[in-house]
Amino acid sequence: MESDDKNMKTIFFDLDDTLLDVHSKQIDPSSMEILQALNAKGYRLGIASSRPLERIMGIPHINEINWDGYVTTNGVEVYDQNLCHLEDHSFQQEDLDAIFAFGQKYQIPIFSVGQIEMLTGIDPTVRLFMKKYDVVDYQCKPYEGEKQKLITYITTDVETVYQKLKEEFPLYHSVKGGPFNIDIFPKGYSKLTGIHTLMQHWKQPRNDFMAFGDSYSDICTIQAAKIGVAMYHALEPVKAVADYICPEDRPDAIAQTIHHFGLL
């Protein structure tokens, strides 16, 4: 963390369990108020999420904020404020075929978003995943060549599946997204590469930003940021690289942190 924090004018937010409250799964009113105040003060605001754009735009009230950029699908796709692509490194068809074949081979249900929102199977672990990530509008069906962007394996044995993915797909990047889910992306992209694309687009120093997050995919952004903030409930590896950890698990944690750093 540097001494000229107040000159930093760009803030990126992870969504699930960060900007979206861990309990309500909604944007807390205090966060809406602080984001609108940041808009009014001229801060650049960005989303950095593993969600594809389709699952971001369905979040209630998300468009009441003037977002300057979107890092989606863990950096694979990046959009400017007008939703114009700055980066698009989505899976090729042969990649998708192999990824879904892996799930079928090991009988691992897959949640995916893109051409449609779909699950390849439902079991008790999948139901926990659906509840945590508010998955309600989907088709339960086998993969039939759909052009998907977000691919998530759902399993109780995350470590074993994670290692198998690294062995069988060395050209892909696997990220443990939670206690029972693993996201897979084209290798070489992350939330941080997406943020750097936007910072370059805005002609700003590449790490001159503040970042909020809680999970493995946020480690790179929090570590690189001028101010890296881990949520109170963040995973320990995330907290280990953060400049600041929200001191309480409360809905207004983001607002409290913004005020703590004197940004408003």
Q: What is the pLDDT of residue 6?
A: 60
Largest CA distance in the chain: 54
Which pLDDT tens digit goes with each residue over 71-126?
999 999 999 999 999 999 889 999 999 999 999 999 999 999 888 999 999 999 99
Which pLDDT tens digit goes with each residue over 1-46?
444 566 789 999 999 999 998 778 889 999 999 999 999 999 999 9
Domain spans, the chain: 5-89+189-260, 93-186
Q: What is the pLDDT of residue 5?
A: 61
Which is more confidently placed, 224 or 26?
224
The CATH class, in words, for 5-89+189-260 is alpha beta
Which pLDDT tens digit goes with each residue over 139-185?
999 999 999 988 999 999 999 999 999 999 998 989 888 889 999 98
According to CATH, what is the number of the domain 93-186? 3.30.1240.10
Q: With the CA atoms of 55, 57, 59 and 60 taken in that order, what torsion angle do they form, in degrees rounded to the nearest 10?
A: -160
Residue 232's identity, in one-letter code, is: Y
Look at the pTM and tell me if it is higher than 0.75: yes
CA 262/CA 264 separation, integer angstroms: 5
Q: How confident is the model at residue 192 (pLDDT cuts 50, 70, 90)?
A: very high
Averaged pLDDT score across all residues of the chain: 93
